[in-house]
Structure 1
Amino acid sequence: MMTTVQRRDSPDVPVTPRHAEGEDISILPRIFEDDISIAILHRRLPQEIQAGVNAQLQADRALSISWLGPPGDALRSELRRRLQDPDACGALIEDIVTLAEAMAYLFDTDSVGLRLRRLASAMCPRFHCDHLPVRLVTTYHGPGCEWLPEWAVNRQGLGAPRPDKPEIVDDPSAVRRLGTGDLALLKSSGWIGNEEHALVHRSPDLPAGHQRLLLTLDPA
């Protein structure tokens, strides 16, 4: 049974947590529950995948791969063509293809939108909501996405910043961060029935000289 917490600014008003997390794959389908806005599968990356990740981080050229289509052999071939040192990336490629196939299966679609990027700065540093239905995110290297539990969000502060807007974060100590390798399904405002509870999240700050390797997958 899901428990409730109370907002610091309204101690008499209970707020249902809208997140689910665990170490079993069964946690991800909980994103279909009405009162869940983020489902997190905690995992550690095996050394075989890490070898492929390291090859991308050490490459001289930038890495930014976009793909829209059915997961499977075509995606596998595209990754082998675009990734640095593909012979070292077998496990990384298979992990990405497996995740793409899982997204297609979970959301009953024939195609997915994929982006794999090496980043040296925060892409979206301000807390915000996406306007698509749902997205899978995982960070193969570096700090993961930061997100807010429902009770810590002041939604009046979302959107373009203005001097008269309140702070988005009610309690700075409540900011949560995904771990490296974690899989997370983020439910957004494009999900019917979730318009008022889209997950509020942002890119983590990256110190100078640090990198992230970020994968996002959208059902298409």
Structure 2
Amino acid sequence: MQPHPSLDTSAHWAFGQEIEVLPRIFDDDITLAVMQRRLDSALALAVRAQLNGSRSLDWHWRGAPGQAMKEDLERRLPAPEAGAALVEDVSHIAEAMAYLFSTEAIGIRLRTLEGAMCPRFHVDNLAVRLVTTYAGPASEWLPEHAVNRAGLGAPHPDKPDIVADPDAIRQLAVGDLALLKGCGWIGNEERGLVHRSPQPAAGERRLLLALDPG
């Protein structure tokens, strides 16, 4: 059995149940900071309502979090009459992201997925991204000791496998707020967190939120 991520003394990650864990992403040795949480009943019901319809969701926003953002999201939801808790949660996360990174503009995407968006392990070229999965399998990631970075990038027959230890693959939980440090973070150019989108089961849909500061 894998040790709990927060119990590994050599960890380049930080897990906790309070929002104070998220600023750990500014630590030089941390490439993943996760606030563990469970969706409350109202939020879970709002999420389920959006997934029960036939229409998919692919909402984008770039700008300040606020009333205009909330109204735009509500208009785009498949079931807006049941979406208040989801709109409020996205708003709170966006406001926290803007505060944490001292920016007025946030890039946000909320979308339903029936397949793996990025099925191959990879690193992001941006500085940092926050992801949370509201439904379906959450993102998978690799501790540094289990990564062969020579395998990253476009697939090629001569490249080695990215995963040096398949037993070390770890997975976030539904509801977790995860900050992933990428290669665009100054001083982290060779240490971006290696992660991937999982493949949902047949007939299963994911609801994924991703936020980029600035």
Alpha-carbon shift at residue 207 of structure 1 (Å): 1.6
Q: What do the CA deviations read for 1:52-92 (whole angstroms, capped 9, x no partner)? A: 10111011112100110100101111111111222211111
Aligned partners of 2:202, 2:81: CA distance in 1, in Å?
30
Q: What do the CA deviations read for 1:128-184 (whole angstroms, capped 9, x no partner)? A: 001000000000001100000111111001001111111111110100101001110
Aligned partners of 1:79, 1:126: CA distance in 2, in Å?
30
Partner of residue 58, structure 2: 64
Total equivalences in the alignment: 209
Q: 2:95 aligns with which of 84, 98, 101?
A: 101
For the 8 Å contact 1:17–1:151, the answer to whether it is kept is: no
Q: 2:196 aligns with which of 191, 195, 202?
A: 202
Q: 1:19 aligns with which of 13, 17, 22?
A: 13
Counterpart amino acid of 1:173? D
- For the residue of structure 1 that corresponds to 2:122, the secondary structure is coil
For the 8 Å contact 1:20–1:30, the answer to whether it is kept is: yes
- For the residue of structure 1 that corresponds to 2:15, the secondary structure is strand
User: Does 2:117 match 1:157?
Assistant: no
Scaled by the length of structure 1, what TM-score is found?
0.92
Larger radius of gyration: 1
Structure 2 counterparts to residues 1-220 of structure 1, below 5 A: 16-220=10-214
Alpha-carbon shift at residue 4 of structure 1 (Å): 7.1
For the 8 Å contact 2:50–2:83, the answer to whether it is kept is: no
Alignment identity in percent?
A: 58
Q: What do the CA deviations read for 1:187-210 (whole angstroms, capped 9, x no partner)? A: 000000000110000000112101
For the 8 Å contact 1:64–1:115, the answer to whether it is kept is: yes
For the 8 Å contact 2:49–2:79, the answer to whether it is kept is: yes
For the 8 Å contact 1:37–1:197, the answer to whether it is kept is: yes
Partner of residue 3, structure 2: none
More moved, 65-74 vs 77-86? 77-86
Aligned partners of 2:7, 2:38: CA distance in 1, in Å?
28
Which sections of structure 1, spanning at least 5 residues, go unmatched?
6-15
Which sections of structure 2, spanning at least 5 residues, go unmatched?
1-5
Alpha-carbon shift at residue 3 of structure 1 (Å): 8.5
- For the residue of structure 2 that corresponds to 1:56, the secondary structure is helix
Runs of 4+ in 1 over 3 A off after TM superposition: 2-5
